[in-house]
C-alpha cells in the first residue's frame, strides 16, 4: 500500500478568479468545509492509513481550494495545520488579505505561502484569470514579503500557450518584488496532455540554466501519481489533484 509524504486539503470551492485552466469546480457563492469537518478529515481513518506521519505529526500539509483566503475560518485553519504538521504550504491568488492573516502568519514560522502569478502585466493577467487584479496581487506580494520575509514566499506560475512567451518577463517582475523562489508548472488539463510543447519546455529549462538567474526556479513536471495526496471537500482522497474528481483511493 502506498503511503503519501503529504496531503493537500481542499478547504473551499469558492474563488474570486476564473482561471481558464482551473481544475476545481469553482463556485462563486460561499462553499466551504467548516473547521470542525476539516479537523475530522485530518483525523479520519483514510488519512491515517494513506498519509505518513513523523513523531505524531504530518510531514507536509497543503491548504488548497478554491481560494483559501475567502474561507471564513482561514486564520484558525492556518493555526490548526501549523500545529499538526512539520511544514505547511498555503496556496493562494493573494488578491485579498483577510483581517488578522498577516499576524497569524508571522507567528507560525512553518507556513509557506505559495502565490499564483501567471503573467507579468495586467492585460495578460486578465486574459488568464478573467479578473482585473494584477496590481492588487503585486502589492500584496510586496506586503507579504515585508511582513514574513522572502524565505517563506513562493510564486507558482502555470505555463500554458497563453503565457509561455511571458515567463522571463515574470522573472523580472518577481525579482523587483524581492521574490526568491518560483515554481513553474506546465499546464495539464485533467491529466490529458501538456498544452505547451515539450520542445518549448526544454527551451525554458535551458534558458533558466544559462541565464544563471539570481533566484531559485523549479520546473515541476506533473506526474499522474504524485508523492502528495489530495483530498476534496467531499472526502475523496486521490493521488493527484487532476484525478481528485474521478478517482477515490478508499
Radius of gyration of the chain from Cα atoms? 18
Q: CA 203, CA 192: separation in Å to the nearest integer?
A: 22
Q: Which is nearer to ligand SF4, 85 or 92 (CB)?
A: 92
List 24, 133, 173, 217, residue binding ligand SF4 (CB under 6 A): 24
Least gap, CB of 3 to ligand SF4 (angstroms): 27
- Number of Cβ within 10 Å of residue 78's Cβ equals 23
Please state whether beta strands 57-64 and 85-92 pair in parallel, antiparallel, or not at all (unpaired).
parallel
Q: Which residues contact 56 (CB under 8 A, 6 or more apart)?
A: none
Task: Work out whether 68 is an interface residue with ligand SF4 (CB under 6 A).
Answer: no
Which set of grid coordinates corresponds to residue 155? 510564486
Per-residue binding string, ligand SF4, 106-135, x by CB under 6 A, is ----------x-------------------
Pair 16, 235: CB distance under 8 Å: no
Least gap, CB of 8 to ligand SF4 (angstroms): 12
Least gap, CB of 209 to ligand SF4 (angstroms): 28
Closest CA to 86 of 3, 151, 180, 7: 7
Task: Work out whether 18 is an interface residue with ligand SF4 (CB under 6 A).
Answer: yes
Least gap, CB of 12 to ligand SF4 (angstroms): 9
- Structure letter (DSSP) for residue 121: S
Site for ligand SF4 in 179-218 (CB under 6 A): none
Site for ligand SF4 in 130-159 (CB under 6 A): none
Q: Which residues bind ligand SF4 (CB under 6 A)?
A: 15, 17-19, 22, 24, 26, 65-67, 93, 116
Amino acid at each position: 500500500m502506498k503511503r503519501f509524504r503529504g496531503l493537500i486539503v481542499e478547504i473551499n470551492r469558492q474563488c474570486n478568479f476564473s482561471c481558464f485552466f482551473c481544475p476545481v469546480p469553482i463556485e462563486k457563492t460561499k462553499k466551504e468545509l467548516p473547521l470542525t469537518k476539516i479537523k475530522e478529515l485530518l483525523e479520519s481513518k483514510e488519512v491515517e492509513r494513506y498519509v505518513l506521519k513523523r513523531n505524531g505529526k504530518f510531514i507536509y500539509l497543503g491548504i488548497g481550494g478554491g481560494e483559501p483566503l475567502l474561507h471564513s475560518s482561514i486564520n484558525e485553519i492556518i493555526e490548526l495545520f501549523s500545529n499538526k504538521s512539520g511544514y505547511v504550504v498555503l496556496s493562494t491568488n493573494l488578491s485579498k488579505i483577510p483581517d488578522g492573516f498577516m499576524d497569524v502568519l508571522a507567528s507560525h514560522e512553518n507556513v509557506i505561502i505559495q502565490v499564483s502569478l501567471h503573467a507579468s502585466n495586467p492585460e495578460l493577467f486578465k486574459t488568464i484569470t478573467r479578473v482585473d487584479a494584477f496590481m492588487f496581487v503585486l502589492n500584496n506580494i510586496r506586503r507579504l514579503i515585508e511582513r514574513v520575509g522572502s524565505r517563506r514566499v513562493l510564486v507558482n506560475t502555470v505555463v500554458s500557450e497563453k503565457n509561455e512567451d511571458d515567463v522571463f518577463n515574470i522573472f523580472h517582475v518577481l525579482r523587483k518584488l524581492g521574490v526568491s523562489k518560483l515554481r513553474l508548472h506546465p499546464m495539464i488539463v485533467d491529466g490529458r496532455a501538456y498544452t505547451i510543447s515539450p520542445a518549448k519546455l526544454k527551451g525554458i529549462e535551458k534558458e533558466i540554466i544559462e541565464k544563471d538567474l539570481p533566484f531559485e526556479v523549479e520546473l515541476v513536471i506533473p506526474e499522474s501519481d504524485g508523492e502528495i495526496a489530495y483530498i476534496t471537500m467531499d472526502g475523496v482522497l486521490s493521488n493527484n489533484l487532476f484525478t481528485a474528481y474521478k478517482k477515490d483511493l478508499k
